A and B are shown apart, each in its own frame.
Chain A
Amino acid sequence: AQKVTQAQTEISVVEKEDVTLDCVYETRDTTYYLFWYKQPPSGELVFLIRRNSFDEQNEISGRYSWNFQKSTSSFNFTITASQVVDSAVYFCALGRRPNTGNQFYFGTGTSLTVIP
């Protein structure tokens, strides 16, 4: 069975602090995909990043970085020098692609509040 766990329900940080959002996944598939989505207060769900299970390279995009570790089944997301605009709910998701089409499993989300 597939499962994504985001143990942190809510996090508050002061602006300019670094913050890491944890994501742990479970799957028996050898090929899978991991995603992060951002849901700002306006409500839309915005795609941030996708990683393939065979690519454990970490990725950095501006103030955002992602640490993928298969050994611990984790795909953590770090925001460096947080800003108020980073306040949002962040969802981690696991994807698989059987012949019947893409399937996605979302975590329950982490609500991040950045205090000015």
Chain B
Amino acid sequence: DAGVIQSPRHEVTEMGQEVTLRCKPISGHNSLFWYRQTMMRGLELLIYFNNNVPIDDSGMPEDRFSAKMPNASFSTLKIQPSEPRDSAVYFCASSLARGQGNTGELFFGEGSRLTVL
């Protein structure tokens, strides 16, 4: 079975450029999460969606960050304009939400490593 698929795996860009990270959750999962991991801050939750609706975006650092989930099989995380401090590994994860006879664990993608010069 395909897991959570993220693209690109690596992205190097210059400060000020727009960055778009993409995620395809596991088919049938209806909760999707975007995390950011850095050495300084560890694993941070940026935003999560339930049934394509953003539930909690309090972790989104600032207005330069935006996330969308236009349908159940696709989500994007956009940074515009990017800054060097945005350099991190961005993980997408999905799970089944309550009431669907599931075990509820998060399944992570392999991450997108972003470097902003």
A101 touches B97 (CB 8 A): yes
CA distance A101 to B98 in the complex (A): 6
B31 touches A101 (CB 8 A): yes
Determine, out of B15-23, B40-48, B61-69, B76-84, the stretch whose residues face the partner at the interface.
B40-48
Q: A64 at interface (Cβ–Cβ under 8 A)?
A: no
Nearest residue, chain A, Cβ from B93: A45
Q: B8 at interface (Cβ–Cβ under 8 A)?
A: no
List which B34-62 residues lie within 8 A (CB) of chain A.
42-43, 45, 48, 50-51, 55-56
For chain B, the count of residues having a C-beta within 8 Å of the partner chain is 27
Given known A43-B110, A43-B111, A50-B105, contact A102–B97 (CB-CB < 8 A): yes
Report B-chain residues with C-beta under 8 Å of the C-beta of A103. Answer: 48, 56
CA distance A101 to B29 in the complex (A): 11
Report A-chain residues with C-beta under 8 Å of the C-beta of B106. Answer: 35, 37, 47, 93, 95, 102, 104
Q: A77 at interface (Cβ–Cβ under 8 A)?
A: no
CA distance A97 to B48 in the complex (A): 13
CA distance A50 to B96 in the complex (A): 14
Question: Size band of the A side of the interface?
Answer: 20 to 34
Q: A30 at interface (Cβ–Cβ under 8 A)?
A: no
Given known A43-B111, A106-B43, A108-B42, contact A101–B105 (CB-CB < 8 A): no
CA distance A46 to B108 in the complex (A): 7
- A-B residue pairs, 6 tightest by C-beta: A101-B50, A45-B108, A97-B98, A101-B97, A101-B31, A108-B42
Q: A43-B89, A104-B106 are in contact. List 20 more A-B contacts (CB 8 A).
A: A33-B105, A35-B105, A35-B106, A37-B108, A43-B110, A46-B108, A47-B106, A50-B105, A91-B43, A95-B105, A97-B104, A98-B98, A101-B30, A101-B31, A102-B95, A102-B97, A102-B98, A108-B42, A108-B43, A109-B42
Sampled A-B contacts (18; CB under 8 Å): A37-B108, A43-B89, A44-B110, A45-B93, A45-B108, A45-B111, A47-B105, A91-B43, A93-B106, A95-B104, A97-B97, A97-B98, A100-B55, A102-B31, A102-B50, A102-B95, A104-B106, A106-B42
